[in-house]
Amino acid sequence: MVLARFPIPPLAVYVVLVAGGLALRRRKPTAGLLVVGISTLLIFAMNAVGLIDNLGPLPRTLWAVAVVTVALALAGSSVARLTVDAVTAQPGDVDLTIARTAIPPQITATAGDVTVFVSNADPYSHTFTIDELGVDQTVVAGQEARVGFSAQPGEYRYRCAIPGHEFMEGTLLVK
């Protein structure tokens, strides 16, 4: 895939996209995997045509269209991501931060309508689950969620319901 000592442009673009996807994967695992996966599928699809005897290599214009399409898709997803309103804690929310697969052993709330602001600092998803109250909210890696429910005074066990995370539990004390 080298022409006159220079990599063919689509290959160079592929390498840049994969490197960017791998770097993105550290902060946004799903987006990073999508970039790597789509780039890989595209490069294989574009080269598969040249493997068939009756077909020659793809014209440069088709390569250019493919590269521009991928670039526009990536730019569009980035713009869409920036325009989505972020979840933020509101006054009165009970804060709960999950980090390093650790969950606070106890949080306290006032009886009635309760909102817990869950922040997931881990690179993988967790849940905020209170079986007695019918609460089960998935919080994606690196994201936040506001979870609202009603609770009477008492103690409630909260946990992460993802298999293998059974040790992640605590108590919600409602006064």
Residues 75-97 pLDDT 10s: 666 555 544 457 888 999 999 99
Q: State the average pLDDT over residues 145-174.
A: 95
pLDDT over 70 for what percent of the chain?
76
Q: Are residues 78 and 98 in the same domain?
A: no
Looking at the structure, tell me whether residues 133 and 166 fall in a common domain: yes
Domain, as residue range, for 41: 2-83
pLDDT of residue 5: 53
| Co-location of 99 and 169 in the same domain | yes
State the pLDDT at residue 135.
Answer: 96
- 76 and 117 belong to one structural domain: no
Distance separating alpha carbons of residues 90 and 93, to the nearest angstrom = 6
Name the domain boundary from 83, 108, 139. 83
- The answer to whether residue 62 scores a pLDDT higher than 60 is yes
Instruction: Let me know whether 57 and 30 are in one domain.
Output: yes
47 and 117 in a common domain? no
17-26, 72-81, 92-101: segment of lowest average pLDDT: 72-81
For 94, residues 6+ apart whose C-beta sits below 8 A from its C-beta are 107, 108, 109, 114, 115, 116, 117
Single out the residue in 29, 56, 83 at which a domain terminates: 83
Is 151 within the bounds of a domain? yes
Query: How does DSSP classify residue 102?
Result: B
Domain count, the chain: 2
Burial of 116 from C-beta contacts in 10 A (0-12 / 13-18 / 19+):
buried
| Residue 72 pLDDT greater than 70, yes or no | yes
Let me know whether 59 and 11 are in one domain. Answer: yes
pLDDT tens-digit map of 122-148 = 988 999 999 999 999 999 988 999 999
Does residue 145 belong to any structural domain of this protein? yes
* pTM of the model as a whole: 0.55
pLDDT at 166 over 70: yes
Residues present in the chain in total: 175
| 88 within domain boundaries | no
Which of 83, 115, 143 delimits the end of a domain? 83
Distance CA 14, CA 124 (A): 27
pLDDT at 56 over 70: no
- Do 98 and 148 lie in a common domain? yes
Residues contacting residue 43 through CB under 8 Å, at least 6 positions apart: 10, 11, 14
Q: What is the mean pLDDT of residues 57-72?
A: 70
